[in-house]
Amino acid sequence: MGIVRDMADLLMPRRCLMCGRRLTGQEEYACATCLMHLPLTEYHKQEHSHLEKRFWGLFPVEKAVAMFHHDGEWTRRLIYHIKYWGHPDVATFLARTYAKELMEGSSFFEGIDTLVPLPLHWRRQLSRHYNQSHYIALGIKQATGIPIAKHVVKRVKNNPSQTRKKGLERRENVEGIFRLMHPERIAGKHILLIDDVVTTGATLTSCAQELAKAPDVRISILTLAAAAQTPIPALQNDTPETSVFGVPLME
């Protein structure tokens, strides 16, 4: 495998998705320097994380963590690779890395029975070809062995892209967009609801409120990235983004 990869590297060098530097044999997707400088949240070390507190009063949340702060060009680039540039395997890699860290440094996964990726609307999934949250869940499953519950909840409304809407507008926009399909699959269980980025938390809240209709369910949250509650400004200008860093978006 090593030789094959070394030869492939000679023919078509693999590059860090964040800084563009050539990757060495052991590195995957991002170089060690970029990974080391990811702005990690360390939420799992807080008794009640800042992220958990965002959901207080909205739905009964047990605990909530995010791998890194979504606060700059580099993390934005990572998320764009995952969401729009056809690299959901990056999400699996990051989630697996994060899950191992959580297992070593905390009891976060203790008592969690099943993983529930936040669903996309079928139309969006069709245009994107994948649900990035499912790929995050895959990484968590690979590290922890916790199973993924399928088709528990469905997205029944395809809310338009929310990147340009403000907080209150977003919350109104996401009401009733999910429907609980199989409550029996999560009844009595502690589920981990998984998403890529949390910004206002409105979409996650809407989904969690629907999941909370299942009998005796307990809900925790895991996301790759957590943005400050005021959305981060667009990189170039305020026009709708059709491309970022010169690469066209797929939807």
Q: Which of 19, 168, 187, 228 binds Zn ion (CB under 5 A)?
A: 19
Q: Which of 23, 29, 34, 116 binds Zn ion (CB under 5 A)?
A: 34
What one-character DSSP code corresponds to residue 183? G
Asked if 90 touches Zn ion (CB under 5 A), the answer is no
Q: Which residues of 106-129 are buried (b: 16+ CB within 10 A; e: fewer)?
A: eebbeebebbbbbbbbeeeeeebe
Asked if 204 touches Zn ion (CB under 5 A), the answer is no
Q: Tell which positions 125-184 bind Zn ion, by CB under 5 A.
A: none
Shortest distance (Å) from residue 245 CB to Zn ion: 14
Q: Which segment (5-13, 31-39, 123-131, 206-214) binds Zn ion by CB under 5 A?
A: 31-39
Summary count for the chain: helices (H), strands (E): 9, 8
Tell me how far apart the alpha carbons of residues 27 and 15 are, in angstroms, rounded to a whole number: 10
Shortest distance (Å) from residue 224 CB to Zn ion: 17
| Residue 227 region by backbone torsions, left for phi larger than 0, else alpha for psi between -120 and 50, else beta | beta
Q: Which segment (1-9, 27-35, 109-117, 220-228) binds Zn ion by CB under 5 A?
A: 27-35
Of the candidates 86, 66, 70, the one whose C-alpha atom is nearest the C-alpha of residue 17 is 86
Asked if 17 touches Zn ion (CB under 5 A), the answer is no
Asked if 82 touches Zn ion (CB under 5 A), the answer is no
Q: Which segment (25-33, 55-63, 191-199, 217-225) binds Zn ion by CB under 5 A?
A: 25-33
Number of residues assigned to the chain: 251
Asked if 35 touches Zn ion (CB under 5 A), the answer is no
Shortest distance (Å) from residue 42 CB to Zn ion: 21
What single string gives the DSSP state of each residue in 2-64?
A: HHHHHHHHHHS--B-TTT-PBPPTT--SS-HHHHHTS-B--GGGSSS-HHHHHHTTTS-EEEE
Asked if 32 touches Zn ion (CB under 5 A), the answer is no
Shortest distance (Å) from residue 5 CB to Zn ion: 18
Asked if 31 touches Zn ion (CB under 5 A), the answer is yes
Nearer to Zn ion, 78 or 219 (CB): 78
Nearer to Zn ion, 38 or 192 (CB): 38
Q: Measured between alpha carbons, how far apart are the two ends of the chain, in Å?
A: 35
Q: Are 16 and 23 in contact (CB under 8 A)?
A: yes
Query: Interface with Zn ion by CB under 5 A: which residues?
Result: 16, 18-19, 21, 31, 34
